[in-house]
Homo-oligomer: A and B are copies of this chain.
Amino acid sequence: STGKAKYQAPPVAHYNLNNVTVTPKPLENRENILVLTPMARFYQGYWDNLLKLTYPHELITLGFILPKSKEGNQATTELQKQIAKTQQSGPEKDRFKSIIILRQDFDPPIQSQDEAERHKMHNQKRRRAAMAKARNSLLFTTLGPATSWVLWLDADVVETPPTLIQDLASHDKPVIAPNCFQRFYNEEKKAMDERPYDFNNWQDSDAAQDLAKKMGPDDVLLEGYAEMATYRALMAYMHKPDGFRAETVPLDGVGGAALLVKADVHRDGAMFPPFAFYHLIETEGFAKMAKRLGWQPFGMPNYKVYRYHAQI
């Protein structure tokens, strides 16, 4: 102890959650955005796209969580290199308000990020549960009293409109997801093409409800498996090339590739269930939980973001 005279009174912060606005015009109202990314691999395209976002970077806090695997260590090194470049020697306007990097203190159940292995149905429930816990750790640890919006952005999303945050927020929805596509080289057309990538954005169906009814209490419905035909209306297939870009549709399940959430939805308690919640898990369970709390999720079928694709 340093004696009375030198003693610094510890901080007392007083926050009025009502004074933290959450509006369709976050930029004008200088609202704080928390961008959260669970990251197993580092993609340069992700970072480059992040830098191009026109929402004022001084209002953006970045939060990352990376697994403690060999791959996670590698990704952490690459991420830190880019952070140092941007925050220390990059143009001022590129620099973010603050950055938090967390390392995941549990082993990811599947080490391989190999696509075929990752997507095997029997691996999915364990994988999604681990992902849900990673998202929850990141969320519970980084959300602060001044946060207005949380943008979930997966590490493999490498292309979005630069006005992503403003565009999504302008609809004033509690939860809103763009449509995630992937570019690829179409061998038939001998040209670049694109295809829908994220199948977790959907509207529920009677068939899926019937499947759920026959399931055990801990079983989860998974989308995109022939052996479990849900007949849900997938936002991936609602996309119309000439469709109205600002169109919104209500959703019952959402994906996490890109997802804007009002911070109050999370503060009410909406998290990513790592267990079967109405037979749904992770981001799809989150959508259900938001609905149970009175917050309706929406999607934008004609507003696209792109997933990483290998160069040809």
The residue on B at minimum CB distance from A99 is B12
Tell me the complex Cα distance, A274–B290, Å: 11
Which among B4, B12, B136 is the interface contact of A269 at CB below 8 angstroms? B136
Of A110-118, A151-159, A248-256, A260-268, the one touching chain B: A260-268
Tell yes or no: A100 within 8 A of B by CB: yes
A142 to B141, CA, bound (A): 8
Closest to A292 in B: B275
A161 at the interface (CB under 8 A from B): no
Binary contact readout A278-312 vs B (1 if CB under 8 angstroms, 0 otherwise) = 00000000000000110000000000000000000
A97: chain B residues at CB < 8 Å are 10
Please state if B144 and A141 are interface contacts (CB–CB under 8 Å): yes
For the complex, would chain A's binding face be called helix, strand, loop or mixed by DSSP majority?
A: mixed
CB distance from A87 to the nearest CB of B (A): 5
Q: Contacts A1-B92, A269-B272; is A103 near B17 (CB within 8 Å)?
A: yes
Q: A12 to B82, alpha carbons, bound, how many Å?
A: 12
**A87: chain B residues within 8 A (beta carbon):** 9-10, 12
Q: Which of B7, B96, B145, B269 contacts A10 (CB 8 A)?
A: B96
Q: Does A126 interact with chain B (Cβ within 8 Å)?
A: no
Given A14-B101, A101-B14, decide whether A92 and B269 contact each other with a Cβ distance below 8 A: no
- Whether A12 contacts B83 by the Cβ 8 Å rule is yes
**A266 contacts B103, C-beta separation under 8 Å:** no
By beta carbon, the residue of chain B nearest A143 is B140
Q: Specify which chain B residues have a CB less than 8 angstroms from the CB of A145 in the assembled complex.
A: 100, 102, 141-142
Q: Is the C-beta of A241 less than 8 angstroms from some C-beta in chain B?
A: no
Which 5 A-B residue pairs are closest in the complex by CB-CB distance? A136-B269, A18-B105, A17-B105, A137-B267, A12-B99
Listed in ascending order, the chain A residues whose CB lies under 8 Å from chain B are 1, 4, 7, 9-18, 58, 68, 80, 83, 87-88, 92, 95-105, 132-133, 136-137, 139-145, 264, 266-269, 271-275, 292-293
Query: Could you jot down 26 A-B contacts, CB within 8 Å?
Result: A7-B92, A10-B96, A10-B97, A12-B83, A12-B98, A12-B101, A13-B98, A13-B99, A13-B100, A13-B101, A15-B100, A15-B103, A17-B141, A100-B145, A105-B264, A133-B267, A137-B267, A137-B268, A140-B140, A140-B143, A140-B266, A268-B274, A269-B271, A269-B272, A269-B274, A275-B293
Known: A4-B92, A140-B269, A275-B293. 14 other contacts (CB 8 A): A7-B92, A10-B96, A13-B100, A13-B101, A14-B80, A16-B102, A16-B105, A18-B68, A105-B264, A132-B269, A133-B268, A133-B269, A136-B268, A139-B140
